[in-house]
Chains A and B, each alone.
Chain A
Amino acid sequence: NAGVTQTPKFRVLKTGQSMTLLCAQDMNHEYMYWYRQDPGMGLRLIHYSVGEGTTAKGEVPDGYNVSRLKKQNFLLGLESAAPSQTSVYFCASSYPVNLLALREQYFGPGTRLTVT
């Protein structure tokens, strides 16, 4: 099992360019998440999905869009990149809630994005 994989690992964008980050998981997880991690800020949730075809906003959704067309994939898009979106992006996945309890999440290795 590869677990959670992310593509690409590194990317440099110019302000205004667009790109898509791909997350794939092979654990048949229902839930998938996109986070960003900035120094001194911990992890902040951007968007998440509780099933194929569904998405929802997290804590910091502005400037990002997502799609979950297949259960195993979760795409994060930046339509017009800004320097404030320079960050490390992590994807995670998990099994659905059990007895109303969120379960542990499995993380990918991250994508380091720089916007100049």
Chain B
Amino acid sequence: SQQGEEDPQALSIQEGENATMNCSYKTSINNLQWYRQNSGRGLVHLILIRSNEREKHSGRLRVTLDTSKKSSSLLITASRAADTASYFCATAPYSGAGSYQLTFGKGTKLSVIP
């Protein structure tokens, strides 16, 4: 079953613009993680935000988390052609419940046009 659902499914922007992707989820989480996947490659971890955090930055990435709305957003500022990839959110439950599974959404496909 899908826990995280990204929105939009696809996004096309010009180089230099900002890109915003959203993720919604259904059940309580311990943390939420964002991953990037370049075409034909494995996923690469970008950033992890805990349930008691509201915002986190890493370079040109900014992630927000609103647990009351069960949603998160990933902002990429000043995008580059090299940012072209699919971006996935993944939710992590409290593992004390015996669950060791991240649940991934279906991803947002970002195209940055030079």
Contact = CB atoms under 8 A, between A and B. Distances in A.
Interface of A: 4, 31, 35, 40-45, 48, 50, 56, 58-59, 90, 92, 97, 100-110
Given A48-B101, A50-B100, A102-B30, A43 B88 contact: yes
Interface range on chain B (Cβ under 8 Å from partner): 20 to 34
Interface of B: 1-2, 30-31, 33, 35, 40-45, 48, 50, 88, 92-96, 100-102, 104-107
B101 A40 contact: no
18 contacts: A42-B2, A42-B105, A43-B88, A43-B104, A48-B100, A50-B100, A58-B101, A59-B1, A90-B42, A100-B30, A100-B95, A101-B94, A102-B30, A102-B101, A105-B102, A107-B44, A110-B41, A110-B42
A38 B104 CA distance: 12
A101 B105 contact: no
B101 A45 contact: yes
